Amino acid sequence: MFQTKKYITDRQGQSSPNRFQYLQQLVQEYSTTDSLEAKQQVLANLANFSYDPVNYNWLWEINVVDLFIYALYQEDKLLQEFGMGGLANICLEPRHQHYIASDPKHIDVITSYIRTKRTNITTNTILNALVTLMLLLDSQNQSSILTNDLKDGITRLQADSTNPAISTMATLFLQDYYLQ
């Protein structure tokens, strides 16, 4: 549910931290905890906050997008899933979209989840990688994102996946971006 800043302010109690402070606390907790479970929970919460446009400025100020990208390099499949989900949510906002799309390393790590066959990956991670790429694509970056390696990876997903959601998304991606 999308919320207004007034709604958030009215709903908070006197002693509750405001939304920006709460988001800062989450980032701090993620950065300082040694508990994998705590990191997973915090990243999942941040990914959930990333779908609501009222949070975009706050998330930009505290560089949450970097946490999402960093999570993609981690070994834990849930950190990867929540990081990719956060990117899919946050890349609708133009600053975040430009930040993600303008760095080839960011695109490379996102596409790596599609280009390379991985055994320890969740369905949601693959789906969110496809969605993120769809949302990032524009006329300026198509040639750098829509590579033959990516096409081969998506074609493999389409053919090999036993999951109908993945094969359907792969088919749509190929139809929309490669078979034009």
CA distance 16 to 108: 40
| Residue pair 46/56 in contact by the 8 Å Cβ criterion | no
Q: What is the pLDDT of residue 7?
A: 61
Residue 7 lies in a domain: no
Per-residue pLDDT tens over the stretch 48-90 = 999 999 999 999 999 999 999 999 999 999 999 999 999 999 9
Tokens at 116, concatenated: 């390379």
Residue 8 lies in a domain: no
Per-residue pLDDT tens over the stretch 38-47 = 999 999 999 9
Q: Cite the DSSP H helix spans in the chain.
A: 5-11, 19-32, 36-49, 56-61, 64-72, 77-90, 94-101, 104-115, 123-136, 142-145, 148-160, 164-173
Residue 139 lies in a domain: yes
Tokens at 41, concatenated: 């929970």
Residue 9 lies in a domain: no
Residue 148 lies in a domain: yes
6-15, 21-30, 71-80, 89-98: segment of lowest average pLDDT: 6-15
What range does the domain containing 99 cover? Answer: 17-178
The arithmetic mean of pLDDT across residues 147-172, rounded, is 95
Residue 2 lies in a domain: no
Residue 10 lies in a domain: no
Angle at 20 between CA 82 and CA 25, to 5 degrees: 60
Q: Does residue 16 register a pLDDT over 50?
A: no
The CATH number that applies at residue 169 is 1.25.10.10
Tokens at 20, concatenated: 């920006």
Q: What is the pLDDT of residue 37?
A: 98
Q: For residue 41, report the phi and psi dihedrals to the nearest 5 degrees.
A: -65, -45
Per-residue pLDDT tens over the stretch 125-157 = 999 999 999 999 999 999 999 999 999 999 999
* Cβ neighbours of residue 127 closer than 8 Å, sequence gap 6 or more: 165, 166, 169
Q: Which amino acid is at 35?
A: S
Residue 50 lies in a domain: yes
Number of structural domains found in the chain:
1
For 54, which DSSP code?
G
How many angstroms separate the Cα of 20 from the Cα of each of 5, 38, 60, 121, 173?
Answer: 11, 20, 11, 32, 36
